[in-house]
Amino acid sequence: MTDIEAPGSAGTQLPRQDHEFTVRRRTQTQLVLRRFVRHRAAMVSLVVFVLIILWAFIGPHLWHYSYEKYTEDNSKPPSWKHPFGTNSSGYDAYAQVMRGTQTSLKIAIMIALGSTLVGAIWGAIAGFYRGVVDAVMMRIADLVLTLPLFAIALVISSRTGGSWYWIAIVIAGLTWAYVARVVRSSVLSLREKEFIEAARALGASDARIIFRHLLPNALGPIIVNATILVATGILTETALSFLGFGVQPPDTSLGLLVSQAQTAVDTRPWLFYIPGAFIIAIALTINFIGDGLRDAFDPRQQRVRQ
């Protein structure tokens, strides 16, 4: 600390204060979270999606009606006793929509996890080794992409009794190739980076390079595609159940509820439109979350759209 003489005042000295300027260093994770939080539509959608999940999985334990038990009220419109009304058999629609949302979410999340896991590993191996390995693996992926999703899902689902986990396995087995192609393209560029050459020079095995270096650096596209697969799973399950080849009674799903209520659109519209609204809400929130994640992991996408 040194003293300097103030101008215009002889003999008067003022202390000089040293100012330190520091820049807080943020990690890549903090930067991604910060950009995601700034995406208002994604944040609102995330809150809505979490509330739907809590309502679907916790609500049935708190609600006084069960989705599989009759009530004394038949074809009642929405009321305080039955917020979503009842159907012609006396089932409480509120309990059924909760169960249907729970089943549809389990199918969609299982599809996203299964497809992402298989596709990410498949694409990473193909992109890392290239050559004959890449050619063979990606031709298999191309073959899967050419298979008619609905036709195969209809046949297999009809033979498995409409169990939700079999439906999820079938759809995941036909959608993993989309993730594989995205991850392969990312790995093809990452494998030429300096840190991969450094890992090879230090004697890292191929498996370590793939799982410790390549896949973590391709995490952005992987997460974005996983969110898209959740929406795809919801809509695919809805279509299968609507056609009668999805979840079967006594269990239920959003698609099955819409299918069962299609003949009652004019007389009891609440049975059709309420589960349909939940399908739309889940698909929209997932799409907005995916947009937010894409902007968070790659800010250039946001600048291009602007």
Low-confidence stretches of the chain (pLDDT < 70) are 1-26, 28, 158, 160-162, 298-306
Structure-block tokens of residue 241: 């159940």
Burial of 166 (0-12, 13-18, 19+ CB in 10 A): middle
pLDDT at residue 302, as a whole number = 47
Contact 127, 191 (CB under 8 A): yes
Q: What is the pLDDT of residues 249-288, one digit of tens each?
A: 888 888 888 888 888 888 888 888 999 999 999 999 998 9
State the Cα torsion 152-154-159-162 to the nearest 10°: 130
Rounded to the nearest 5 degrees, what angle is found at the Cα of 167, between the Cα atoms of 215 and 262?
A: 125
pLDDT at residue 1, as a whole number = 46
pLDDT at residue 306, as a whole number = 43
Structure-block tokens of residue 135: 């050619």
pLDDT at residue 25, as a whole number = 65
